[in-house]
Structure 1
Amino acid sequence: MNGHYNGMTVLLSFLIAAAVSYSALSLANKISRESGKSQRAWLVSGSCVVGVGVWSMHFVGMLSFHMRVAVDYNPLITLLSIAAGITASFIAFRFTTVSEASIRRVIPAGFFMGSAILAMHYFGTAAIKPPILVSYRYQDIPPAILIAYAACYGTLYLFRRARNTPSIHMPMKMLYASMLGLTICGIHYLALEATEFRLDQTNGPQMLDYMAESEPFLLVGVAIATFVLLAISSGVIFFDRNVLERMAYTDSLTSLPNRHHLTRYFESSFPGKESGFLLFIDLDRFKTINDTLGHDAGDLLIKEVAIRLKEASSGDQTVFRLGGDEFLIASAKGREPEASALADVIIAGIKRPYSILGNEIYVTSSIGISLAPEHGMNRTMLLKAADMAMYRAKGAGKNQYKLFDKETDRLLVRKMELERDLRKALVNEELEVYYQPKWDAESNHVSGMEALIRWNHPRLGVVMPSEFIPIAEETGLIVAMTRWMIHEVCRQNTAWQSLDLLHICISVNMSIRVFESGLLGEMVEEALQETGIKPDNLELEITETIAMYDLQDTIKQLKQLKQLGVRISMDDFGTGYSSLGSLDELPIDALKIDRLFIRQSDLTSKQAIISAIITIAGQLNLEVIAEGVETEEQMSFLKSRGCRVMQGYYYGKPMNAKDIEKWLEQPDNSKQIKQIQLSDQ
C-alpha cells in the first residue's frame, strides 16, 4: 500500500528528537554527579522522561507516513514499545554513572541499548491493527540495524563527554542534541523504509481514501504532551542546578563555595598532576571575639574576612569557606613561591583593623600550605597536610604561615600512632604512676608527693605526659585515665601506710575535660571507698584555666569534693587566667608557685612576684608550695620569704613506686638527699 511523508510532521519529529536529546544530555550530567538514593531517583525518572520522549518521536514519525486509511494500534504492544524506549534510556544513563568506561563495559552497553531502540521501533510497527498488514523487506533491514548500533555508541560517547565536562557551553550542547536528534530520526525513517504496509482485501477496501479525522488531533496531542513533559524535566533540572544546587554548594553567610563544593572542585578542576597548592586559613582568637561581642559581630567579621580573601585571590585561585572561622584557597596552578606570596598577602590583609558594630577589631590568621603533587594527589591528603601545617603555624606563635614538610608528616604519623595505641594502654597495663616528693624544708622531712603519669609504650619506650596528655584530652580518654590514676594512687598510698613507710597526702593533677564530664566526684568517692584511704590523704591539683573556665560550676564541684574531705590545690598559680578576684571564693587548701618564677628567682621582678604570692597565700590561710626547686640558692631564697614546702630535683626526681621505697630507706638527712642514686626512667 502506497504512502507518503508529511514534511511538517517530519520536521516536528526531528524537533522532538532534538529536544529529547538536549534533555538527555542535561540529565546525563546531573545523574553522574549524584550518588546513593538521589542518583537512583534521577536515573529512574530521567529514563522514563527520555524513553517516553524518544517513543513520542517514533509515534509522530509513524503518523507522518500517510497511508490514506485510519490506523489503529494494539495497546499492549504499544506499551511494550514504550518500555523498550525507557530501557534504552536507562542503559545509556546507567552507563554514565560508571567511573571507568572500559571496552568490556562499552560494547555490551551499546549492544543492549541498540537492541532496545530497534525493539521500540519494531514493536511500534507491530502494534498496528488490521486491516493494515505489516511485512518487512529483510534485505533493507541491516543498514537500519548498523546505524542503530553506531548511533547508540555515539550517544554513549556524548553522554561520557557530558559527565566529564560539567559546564558544556550552550552552542556545543545544542550541536550535540541536533546530532543525536538527526541520528534518532535516521534510525526511525530508515527502518520505516524497510517496512511494507498492505491493506487486508477482505475488510479494508471500503476504508480506502478515508482520511482519519482523529489523526491531526492525535499528532498535536502527542507533540504537546511530549514538549510539556520535556519542559517540566528541563524546569526541574534548571531549578535543581540554579536554586537547590546553589543552596547545597554555597555558604549561606559569605556566598563562597562550601565544603561540599570542594569535593566537586577536586573532581573537575584540580588535577594537581604538575602543580597546585592549598592554603588552609584559620582565624586566631575568633572564639574570644565571638564570646565577647556576640555571634552577630562574629558573623559580620567572617563576611569581611571572606571579602578580603576574595580580593587577595586571582586567576585559578578559588576561595572556600569550610565552616566556622576556617577558609581554604585552592589553586590548580602554582608552586611554593606563588603559595608563599599569596599567604603573605592574606596575613597582611586579614590583620588590618575591622569596624564591626561600632567596635574596632583586630584579628590575625594562621595558614598552612600543602603542595600538589609533593604532599598528595587527592583532596583528603592535601587537606590533612595543610591542616597540620596550619596547626604548626598556630603553635609557632600564630599570625604566620607554615609549609607542610617531612617533620610535620612525621609528627602527624606519630600522633596518629599514639592515639591508636593509647586506647589500648589502660587495658594492656602500660600506664605507670611516678611520684615526686614534696619536702618540708623547716622540719626536714617528706610532707607529701605529687603523682605523675608515664606511658611505657611497648615499642616507643617511655612517652612523656606532654606528648600523650593532649591526645588523651582530645579523644576523651583522659576521663578513664584519671579514674584509673586516682584509684592507683589511693591504693599505693594505702599500701605504704600499711607498711608504715609513709603517712602523707599525695596529689593528682586534674584535666578540664574531667570537670566537664561531671564524673570527678563519683571517681573520688569510689576510690576512697574501695581503698579505705583517709580523704585528707588525697589532694587534687587544678589549674587556673580549670578554675576560671566555668567558675560557678567549678566552685560547685570543688565544694562537693571538699565535703568528701579531700584536699584541693591550685597548680601553676600566676601563669594562667587572672584569678585573684575569685581566689577567695574557691574552696582550695594550697597554692603552688609555678617553676617559671622559681627558675628566674635571681631576678628582682620575679622575687617580688614570689613574695606577693606567698603573702597572698598567708593572708588566705593557704599552704604555699614551690615547684621546680633545683639549687640551694633557690631553696634558701624561698625559705627566707616564708615558703617551707618545696618540690623539685634538688630534693628528688619523679620515681616509680619501687624507687620511692628505696629512696625512703635512705637516712633522713637533707644533705644526703642529692647524693642518692635514683632511677630516672
Structure 2
Amino acid sequence: MYIEGSYNYYIVTLSILIAILASYAALNITAKISYAKGKSKFFWLFSGSIVMGSGVWSMHFVGMLAFHLHVPMKYDISLTLISMLASVVSSFIAFYITMPKNINRIKIVLGGLIMASGIVAMHYIGMAAMIMPVKLTYDKFLLLLSVVIAFIASYAALFLFLQFRSRPSASWLKWLSAVIMGSAICGMHFTGLKAARFKMDSSAVMGHAESMDLFLLYGVTITMFIILFVSWGAIYFERHMFEKMAFHDSLTGLPNRHEMNRFFEKHVGNEKIGVLFLDLDQFKAINDTLGHDVGDLLVQDVAIRIQQFITPAQQAFRIGGDEFLFIITNCSMEKAEQLAKQLLGNIKKVYHIHGNELYVTGSIGISIGLIKNSSRSTLLKEADTAMYKAKSLGKNQYCIYNDAMGKQEVRKMELEKDIQMALDNDQFYIVYQPKWHVKENRLYGFEALLRWEHPTLGTVSPGEFIPITEETGLIIPITKWVLENACQQCKTWQEQGIIQPISVNLSIKLFQLESLTEMVQDILNKVNLDPHLLELEITESMVLHDINDVIFQLQSIRSLGVRISMDDFGTGYSSIGLLDRIPIDALKLDCLFTNNLNTPSKRAIINAIVLMAENLQLDVIAEGVENQEHIDDLMQLGCQVMQGYFYGKPMRAEQVEKWIANKDKMSLSFI
C-alpha cells in the first residue's frame, strides 16, 4: 500500500526563504573572491561554500520537517552529516572553478553541473537517511526532472552571479540570482520529494502524527546559527580588510597617509606635536640599477627598522615611495632630535638583499607646533622643507625648520613660477668668461654662462635657479636658447675677426631626450658656425646615469666636429676608471683644487691628473685662478690653460670686445 504525505505550508514557506537568503548570503560573499588576494581569497571561498552548502542542507531538512507521513520516522546521523558534506564540497568546487575574473562558458557549465550535483546528492542522501517502516522507491521521470531542474537553475544562477559581481551596486541582480538559486534548491527538493514513492508494509501501523526527530531539529538549528555566524564573520572580516587596505600601506604594513590624517584629527588642540619627515638618500639610484623589486624589499627592511621606534607617544607612517613620517605627541625639541639621531643611525646600517650589500642613508626634516584645523598642512610643509635642506647640506643628517627656510621656500616658489615668463620675456642673458693659454700667452676661448635679471628680485644666482629649471624640465628649452644664442655670438665674433671657440654647459636632461645630436646639428646649420668652434661641457656624474647611452650620444656629437669637455672634474662621483671610454677632449679642474694648492696632497692629485690627461691626449683647464701664485703653482704642476677672475670675470658680449681691445699683451691666433 502506497501512502501520501502531507505538508505544513508555514514550514514550507520558511524552507523557501531559507534557501533564498542562504543563496544571497553565499553569492554575496563569493563575489569578493575574484577581487581578493592571497589568503583572504580562500577565506571568502570557504565562507561562501559553508554558507551555501549549509543553507542548501538546512532548506532540505526544514522541508523534511514540514513533510508528514504519519509513521514513526528518524534519521541516520552518519548519512545526514554526509549529505551536508556533499552540499558544502560541491559548493566549494563550483565557486572555485568560477573564481577567476575572466572565465569561459565551459567553466560556467561545469560549475553549474557540480553545484547541481551537490544539491541532488545532498537531497537523495538525506532521503536515504530516513529510518521508517516504509519502503522508499522513486518515479524515474520525476527523479530525472528534479536533476534537470537543479542543473538549469544552478547554471542560470551562476551565470547571473558572474555577470553582476563586477557591478557591486546592482543589488537587484544579486537578489535575482539568489531567488533563482533558491528556486533550484526548492524545485529540486519538492520535485524529488514528489518522485518518492512510500510503500507501507501490511504489518506497519499508521499513526496520527509522528514525533519530531530532535536530532534533526537541533541539527537544523545549529546549522542556521553557523550560517549566521559565518555571514557576520565575513562582514566583520570585510570591514576589517577594507579598514586595513584604506588606512595601512600594503607593502610595509605601516599606517598610510589616510591614517595620518585621522591621527591629526584625533589630536587637534593645544597639544604640541613633532613631525619628522624622513626621506631615503640614494634610493632612486638603487631602483634604477638593481630594479624596483630590490627597491621594494629595501623599503620593507627600512620599515622593519623604523617599527622598533613606534610607541604610544610616537607613530610612524609611510606616505610615499621612500618617504616616511614620524609624529610625536607632547613633543619637545630634545625628544625630536633624539629620535632623529636614532633613526639615522639605524637606517645607515648595511642591508643584505638578494646578494647585494646596500648602504643607504636618510635625511630628516623636523617641525614642531600645535595642530589646529588650519596648521596641519603647514607642519607637514615645514618638515618637508627642512628635509630638503638636510639633503642639500650633505644628506645623512637632520635639520630643524626655521623662519629662514620658510622665506627660502617662498622665494623658490616665486622663482619657479616666474622662470617660464623669464624665458618668454628675455630676462635671461649670457655672459662670457675667457680661458687663457698661459704658456702661449693667448686667448683660448670663452665659456658661455647663463644669468637671470629678475624684474623685482634683481640678479638671481645660477646656483639658485638652475636646480629649479632641472626639477621643472625647463632646463631643456633654456639650454637650447643658450646654445643657439652663444653660437650666434661666436659667429658674430668670427665675422669681426675674433675667432675663438665657445663652450656651453649641458644638463643630463638633454641626453634623456635622445635627440641631442640632432639639436646641436640643427643649431650649427642655422647659425652656419664651424663645429670646431663649439665645445659642450658635461659633468662627470652625468655618465653614471646611463653610461652606454651617454657615451653613444657623445660619440655622435664629436663626429660632427664638436669638442667635449668634462667640467668640475674630481668632485662628486669619480669617473677616472671610465676616462678611456668617455669621448672627451678636455678636463676642467674644479676650483676646489685651485684654492688648496698649498696642500701637498692636492698638488699630488693635480699632478697625477695632468700626467693622466697627457697620456690620454686631453687638455687640462684649471678653474678658479685668481692670483699670480695660482698661475705659478699650476704651471709648475704642468697645467697650461686657466680660467678665473685673474684673467677676466664673466662679461656681456659688448664688454668682451672692450676687454680684448684693452689686452695689450694678448696676441690673437686661430686654434
Q: Shorter-normalised TM-score: what interval? A: 0.5 to 0.7
**CA distance, structure 1, for counterparts of residue 648 and residue 372 of structure 2:** 46
Partner residue, 1:83: none
Partner residue, 2:524: 528
Counterpart amino acid of residue 339 in structure 1: A
Distance 1:291 1:235, change over 3 A: same
**CA distance, structure 2, for counterparts of residue 358 and residue 640 of structure 1:** 48
**CA distance, structure 2, for counterparts of residue 579 and residue 351 of structure 1:** 25
Partner residue, 1:163: none
Summarize the alignment of residues 217-616 of structure 1 with structure 2, pairs less than 5 Å apart.
238=236, 240-266=238-264, 268-288=265-285, 295=292, 297-354=294-351, 356=353, 362-373=359-370, 377-500=374-497, 502-616=498-612
1:618-672, CA deviations, whole angstroms, 9 ceiling, x for partnerless residues?
A: 212222211111111221222233332211111111111121121112143269x
Summarize the alignment of residues 64-103 of structure 1 with structure 2, pairs less than 5 Å apart.
none
Counterpart amino acid of residue 433 in structure 2: Q
Count of aligned positions: 443
User: SS at 2:324's partner residue?
Assistant: strand
Q: Which runs of 5+ in 1 are unaligned?
A: 1-226, 672-681
User: SS at 2:431's partner residue?
Assistant: strand
Counterpart amino acid of residue 636 in structure 1: D
1:521-572, CA deviations, whole angstroms, 9 ceiling, x for partnerless residues?
A: 2321221111111111111001111123211101111111112221111112
Partner residue, 1:113: none
User: SS at 2:459's partner residue?
Assistant: strand
**CA RMSD, 1 decimal:** 2.9
Q: Give the C-alpha shift of residue 232 in structure 1.
A: 12
1:488-547, CA deviations, whole angstroms, 9 ceiling, x for partnerless residues?
A: 0011111122222x1010000111111112232232122111111111111100111112
Distance 1:640 1:376, change over 3 A: farther
* Contact kept? 1:450, 1:506, Cα under 8 Å: yes
**CA distance, structure 2, for counterparts of residue 375 and residue 598 of structure 1:** 53
Q: Give the C-alpha shift of residue 377 in structure 1.
A: 4.0
Distance 1:359 1:231, change over 3 A: closer
User: SS at 1:345's partner residue?
Assistant: helix
Q: Give the C-alpha shift of residue 275 in structure 1.
A: 1.7
Counterpart amino acid of residue 249 in structure 1: F
1:155-214, CA deviations, whole angstroms, 9 ceiling, x for partnerless residues?
A: xxxxxxxxxxxxxxxxxxxxxxxxxxxxxxxxxxxxxxxxxxxxxxxxxxxxxxxxxxxx
**CA distance, structure 2, for counterparts of residue 414 and residue 393 of structure 1:** 18
Counterpart amino acid of residue 328 in structure 1: L
**CA distance, structure 2, for counterparts of residue 355 and residue 625 of structure 1:** 42
Summarize the alignment of residues 50-199 of structure 1 with structure 2, pairs less than 5 Å apart.
none
* Contact kept? 1:572, 1:592, Cα under 8 Å: yes
Q: Which runs of 5+ in 2 are unaligned?
A: 1-224
Range 346-355 or range 533-542, more displaced? 346-355
Distance 1:525 1:351, change over 3 A: closer
Partner residue, 2:61: none
1:116-169, CA deviations, whole angstroms, 9 ceiling, x for partnerless residues?
A: xxxxxxxxxxxxxxxxxxxxxxxxxxxxxxxxxxxxxxxxxxxxxxxxxxxxxx
User: SS at 1:668's partner residue?
Assistant: coil
What is the aligned counterpart of 2:647 among 637, 647, 651? 651
**CA distance, structure 2, for counterparts of residue 240 and residue 265 of structure 1:** 23
* Contact kept? 2:274, 2:332, Cα under 8 Å: yes
**CA distance, structure 1, for counterparts of residue 535 and residue 415 of structure 2:** 29
Distance 1:667 1:370, change over 3 A: closer
Q: Give the C-alpha shift of residue 579 in structure 1.
A: 2.0
* Contact kept? 1:479, 1:517, Cα under 8 Å: no
Aligned-pair identity in percent equals 51
Range 603-612 or range 662-671, more displaced? 662-671
Range 629-638 or range 448-457, more displaced? 629-638
* Contact kept? 2:268, 2:372, Cα under 8 Å: no
**CA distance, structure 1, for counterparts of residue 384 and residue 266 of structure 2:** 21
Partner residue, 1:622: 618
User: SS at 1:495's partner residue?
Assistant: helix
* Contact kept? 2:257, 2:317, Cα under 8 Å: yes
**CA distance, structure 2, for counterparts of residue 375 and residue 547 of structure 1:** 48
Distance 1:659 1:637, change over 3 A: same
User: SS at 1:564's partner residue?
Assistant: coil
